[in-house]
Amino acid sequence: MPAKLTASLARQNFSDILSRAEYRGERVIVHRGKKAVAAVVPIEDVELLESLEDEIDMAAAREALTKRSAHDSLGEDEELRKTSSCRIGGGCGPYDSVQASGASPTGKTPARSAATIVRQD
């Protein structure tokens, strides 16, 4: 069971707490009042926790990709493809072309962009 210290005791004994975590692998829970607010743990514990979180994230990403792949193979998002190709190819909406020169329809050069979207009415 991890040791429990108040925040003021933890502050007074911080060097000792670090040594206990580093050399003995001890965990110390720091409390403020009756509420646990922090913990000092060995770095190996943190590395293990991060590794487990990465595995969980990868599993969730794989599952999302699998679902997306199954969804695409069923042809259920044909409308999305049509809408996307309209936007990419131009000619399907009010913003039909992109001028790469940086010149806008008003003749002024935009301050922050290398390309300007031109509205075709």
Does 52 share its domain with 68? yes
Residue 71 lies in a domain: yes
**Tokens coding 41:** 């743990």
Q: Label residue 10 exposed, middle or buried (CB < 10 Å: 0-12, 13-18, 19+).
A: buried
For residue range 11-52, list pLDDT tens digits in order: 999 999 999 999 999 999 999 998 999 999 999 999 999 999
What local confidence, expressed as pLDDT, does residue 72 receive?
65
- Containing structural domain, residue 101: 89-119
Residue 111 lies in a domain: yes
What local confidence, expressed as pLDDT, does residue 50 receive?
93
Does 37 share its domain with 8? yes
Q: Domains in the chain: how many in total?
A: 3
Residue 115 lies in a domain: yes
Does 27 share its domain with 49? no
Does 48 share its domain with 72? yes
Does 93 share its domain with 115? yes
CB 117 within 8 A of CB 105: no
Residue 84 lies in a domain: no
Q: How many CB atoms lie within 10 A of CB 17?
A: 20
Residue 83 lies in a domain: no
What local confidence, expressed as pLDDT, does residue 83 receive?
53
**CB neighbour burial string for 36-59, b if at least 16 within 10 angstroms, e if fewer:** eeeebbbeeeeeeeeeeeeeeeee
The whole-model pTM stands at 0.50
Q: Across residues 54-60, what is the average pLDDT?
A: 91
What local confidence, expressed as pLDDT, does residue 10 receive?
95
**What's the length of the chain?**
121
For residue range 63-120, list pLDDT tens digits in order: 888 887 776 665 555 555 555 555 444 555 444 444 444 444 455 544 444 444 444 4
SS3 of residue 91 by DSSP: coil
Does 35 share its domain with 64? no
